[in-house]
Amino acid sequence: MGYKDVYEAWKADPEGFWMKAAECIDWIEPPTRALDASRAPIYRWFPDAVCNTCHNAVDRHVEAGHGDRPAIIHDSPITGTKHVITYAELRERVASLAGALRARGVGKGDRVVIYMPMVPEALEAMLACARLGAIHSVVFGGFAAHELAVRIDDARPKAVIAASCGLEPGRVVPYKPLLDAAIEEAAHKPEFCVILQRDQQPAALIEGRDLDWHAFQVGVEPAPCEPVRGTDPLYILYTSGTTGQPKGVVRDNAGHMVALSWSMKNIYNVQPGDVFWAASDVGWVVGHSYICYAPLIEGCTTIVFEGKPVGTPDAGTFWRVIAEHKVRSFFTAPTAIRAVKREDPRGELAERYDLSSLQALFLAGERADPDTIRWAQELLGKPVIDHWWQTETGWAIAANPLGIELLPIKPGSPAVPMPGYDVQALDEGGHPVKPGELGAIAIRLPLPPGALPGLWNAEERFRKAYLEHFPGYYETGDAGMIDEDGYIYIMARTDDVINVAGHRLSTGAMEEVLASHPDVAECAVIGVADELKGQVPVGFLVLNAGVDRPHEDIVRECVQLVRERIGPVAAFKRALVVDRLPKTRSGKILRATMAKIADGAPFKTPATIDDPAILDEIRAALGR
């Protein structure tokens, strides 16, 4: 069956489709029905199933005789160490940690906050919570104390699991002082903290509250997998909210497993035993779905990478990891590939490595500009597949389903909707627009298994944020279009569509043009308030390493390019060359913050920002 057959099969019988997909999961009590629509537009999947996610990710592979298979490869170019953990070892370690947590009173429904760097113990902590039926909430390691405190107060965890420190190129980031400050600030106080001491900077433990990771496990009885309902929460993952109060996206157990298992086979085309690598962080949704859960549920080997795309030690580190560990599918953010391209524009470092194991490169997390896709395709000689999803959905809304068939790649498009997603481009009145027209991208309800059933203790906020604007739809917050072939184009966040003299224009389309300039490594376009036109676009250009041409010439050429390809209607007349762009730690460009700086409006420095000093550089470039 080809993609169209599979998608039509889902449309013809959605519940039958997902019940069939659910057969690949080990159930304690299998579901007898797929969808509970009794509280529409709040939907639940596999409401009568009983299961355990940790059993499906770990124990069942050992019981099937695959205990010697590598489950986790930890590769840390920062420490210069590599370590392999088999499925049998992983089961032992997870059961021990779960037993120690259980002995301290952690059980079904309790929350545990995890504040960890990219080490295998981060995955073990997640799996140990899943084993007990406890709900984990991973907070990106090194997040500011205030932001951690806000999440502690919202989740109200019984315990916090943290490391003494994290590692960045050339520096150690102490986590324990941040954790101590967060607990001091938070109104809710966890009963205890478990601290993984790292050799690079051990931390002083507070007597009566803090426990050593290894010492508190001594002599405990390993914990078995606890049965949980399919609709019980597996985790809470906080994503930024417009009010400054983070939104706790909830993921349930049953739908999550079914969707992730389906995606591994059909989107990423991997089989049990294959090596799968998502170069992300456990603090983000990609880390939850495709570093921890999906590869392990499928019986693959997952890579936990503690490093950066450049600087650890060079822009060839991705290719070294792929060659050394024989990675089959590789998944990273476009910004990471742009960083590699900027440092090594001719791709000379890739030529040192045998990349024959790699079948495809997958990109997600932000829009992948066509120029980056073409560069990577020429370099690797493999399909480069952009796919689009969100923290809220947990897996791809639109993708090129490599495990079903490789569809024609259209650079700039994450291809076509996956089963479960009926994607529409709507006008302000909620009516579908014509093919090729810009609209608000929305998904007809119900969302598929694996997508959020709601927000943690905030049903009204869930309805208001996602369900009310377009009744019967989930509002993605993204703007884009759908072409005649059904390919989806995500052009910008809805907030990034600018209004120039009454014309609605996509900043993403302008960025696509700027990125095609041979000297431009990456770029961003924002809308700036203008008395005459309402808004006008301003571009920010980061140049490739080694470019020594006058910046004025490059800017002039970029302005002319936009004029030629989009037209005078774009009113694109100003571009600034900067050394770097402000980004979140996951690589998303902070366009809204840049726009506020440009307009002289007050703004709060985002908690997720990689380096706050960059905002001063943007302010200086704008003359603010």
Mean pLDDT, rounded, of the chain: 94
How much is the pLDDT for 253?
98
Place of tokens 């629509």: 37
Q: Is the dihedral of CA 155, 156, 161, 166 positive or negative?
A: positive
Q: How confident is the model at residue 602 (pLDDT cuts 50, 70, 90)?
A: confident
CA distances to 187, 320, 447 from 157, in Å: 12, 39, 28
Residue 37 lies in a domain: no
The pTM (predicted TM-score) of the whole model is: 0.87
Q: Which residues contact 292 (CB under 8 A, 6 or more apart)?
A: 57, 123, 126, 127, 282, 302
Q: pLDDT band at residue 501, thresholds of 50, 70 and 90?
A: low
Confidence of residue 566 (pLDDT cuts 50, 70, 90): confident
| pLDDT given at position 130 | 99
The CATH number of the domain holding residue 594 is: 3.30.300.30
* 196 inside domain: yes
- Omega prior to 345 cis, within 30 of 0: no
Whether residue 308 has pLDDT greater than 70: yes
Which of 32-36, 155-159, 274-278, 597-601 shows the lowest per-residue confidence on average (mean pLDDT)? 597-601
Burial of 244 (0-12, 13-18, 19+ CB in 10 A): exposed
Assess if residue 439 is contained within a domain: no
Give the mean model confidence (pLDDT) for residues 445-456.
98
* Listed range (4-8, 147-151, 239-243) with the worst mean pLDDT: 239-243
Residue 161 has pLDDT above 70, yes or no: yes
Radius of gyration of the chain from its Cα atoms, rounded to whole angstroms: 24
- 266 part of a folded domain: no
Cα(57)–Cα(260) distance, integer angstroms: 11
Decide if pLDDT at 243 tops 60: no
Mean pLDDT for 374-403 is 97
Cα-to-chain-centroid distance, residue 261: 17
Query: In this predicted structure, what is the pLDDT of residue 162?
Result: 98
Does residue 264 register a pLDDT over 60?
Answer: yes
Average pLDDT over residues 371-386: 96
Can you give the residue range of the structural domain that contains 570? 501-622
Which pLDDT does position 208 carry in this prediction? 97
**CATH code for the domain in which residue 98 is found:** 3.40.50.980
Tell me the C-alpha distance between 116 and 127, whole Å.
14
List, in order, residues 6 or more apart from 90 with CB less than 8 Å away.
58, 71, 72, 124, 127
Domain boundary, last residue among 202, 226, 250: 226
Report, as an integer, the average pLDDT of 554-583.
90
Residue 31, pLDDT score: 98
Share of the chain above pLDDT 70, in %: 98
Query: pLDDT at position 146, please?
Result: 84
pLDDT at residue 244 tops 80: no
Number of neighbours of residue 463 by Cβ within 10 angstroms: 14
Looking at 158, 192, 226, the residue that finishes a domain is 226
What is the domain count for the chain?
Answer: 2
% of the chain beyond a pLDDT of 90: 82
pLDDT of amino acid 564: 85
In a domain, 9, yes or no: no
Least confident among 190-204, 236-250, 294-308:
236-250
Q: Cα–Cα distance between 302 and 290 in angstroms, integer? A: 8
- The predicted pLDDT at position 557 comes to 96
pLDDT 10s digits, 41-65: 999 999 999 999 999 999 999 999 9
**Segments in 215-369 forming alpha helices (H):** 253-266, 285-286, 294-297, 317-325, 334-343
* Residue 331 domain flag: no
Domain-terminating residue out of 208, 226, 244: 226
pLDDT at 534 over 80: no
Q: Is the pLDDT of residue 203 over 90?
A: yes
Q: What is the mean pLDDT of residues 403-418?
A: 97
286 part of a folded domain: no
Which residues neighbour 453 within 8 Å (Cβ) at sequence distance 6 or greater? 42, 43, 44, 45, 231, 250, 252, 255
In a domain, 60, yes or no: no
- State residue 496's pLDDT score: 67
Going by pLDDT thresholds of 50, 70 and 90, the confidence category of residue 103 is very high
**Under a CB-based contact definition with an 8 Å cutoff, are residues 300 and 276 in contact?**
yes
